[in-house]
């Protein structure tokens, strides 16, 4: 009997942890995945997107921190460098190099994990799928900079 209760609790905890993941859709505004962003001595991968209608609705419903800029709702997801680079996928759901993600303009879906209280307004980047490449933008070559 006690073993079954433990299994039920563990199953509930797994469900709860899975429910912290959100798929947010929109257009890339700032891409700092290939070359991490450095802020106050901290190195982080960051991706800022302008949320589409569905992404905005989900972010607001989940209580995530967003910013309005020029009539568009933006969200920035972060990931510590020590956790490794987030995986990047193409529209066919095949894993690709991070340079496949343009610096701006690509239509993407990013899988983020919502933080736990008191940081539940923040999102942590897990992986990104490039749904559609921006017109006229080629794969990013960071060696040019």
Indicate the domain borders of the chain: 20-135
**pLDDT on residue 140:** 54
Q: Are 106 and 96 in contact (CB under 8 A)?
A: no
Chain mean position to CA 143: 24
**pLDDT on residue 42:** 87
pLDDT tens string 46-104: 999 999 999 999 999 999 999 999 999 999 999 999 999 999 999 999 999 999 999 89
- Rounded to an integer, what distance in angstroms lies between the CA atom of residue 103 and that of residue 8? 45
What is the CB neighbour count within 10 angstroms for residue 97?
A: 11
pTM listed for this prediction: 0.79
- Rounded to an integer, what distance in angstroms lies between the CA atom of residue 25 and that of residue 27? 7
**pLDDT on residue 6:** 41
Per-residue pLDDT band at 20 (split at 50, 70, 90): confident
Interval 29-52 mean pLDDT? 91
Q: Which CATH architecture has domain 20-135?
A: Beta Barrel (2.40)
């Amino acid at each position: 009997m006690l073993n079954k209760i433990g299994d039920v609790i563990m199953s509930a905890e797994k469900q709860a942890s899975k429910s912290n993941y959100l798929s947010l859709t929109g257009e890339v505004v700032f891409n700092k995945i290939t070359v991490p962003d450095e802020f106050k001595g901290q190195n982080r991968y960051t991706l800022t997107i302008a949320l589409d209608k569905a992404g905005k609705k989900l972010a607001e419903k989940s209580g995530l921190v967003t910013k309005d800029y020029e009539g568009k709702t933006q969200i920035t997801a972060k990931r510590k460098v020590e956790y490794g680079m987030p995986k990047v996928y193409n529209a066919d759901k095949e894993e690709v190099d991070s340079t496949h993600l343009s610096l701006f303009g690509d239509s993407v879906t990013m899988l983020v994990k919502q933080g736990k209280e008191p940081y539940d307004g923040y999102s942590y980047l897990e992986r990104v799928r490039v749904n559609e490449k921006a017109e006229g933008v080629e794969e990013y070559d960071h060696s040019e900079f």
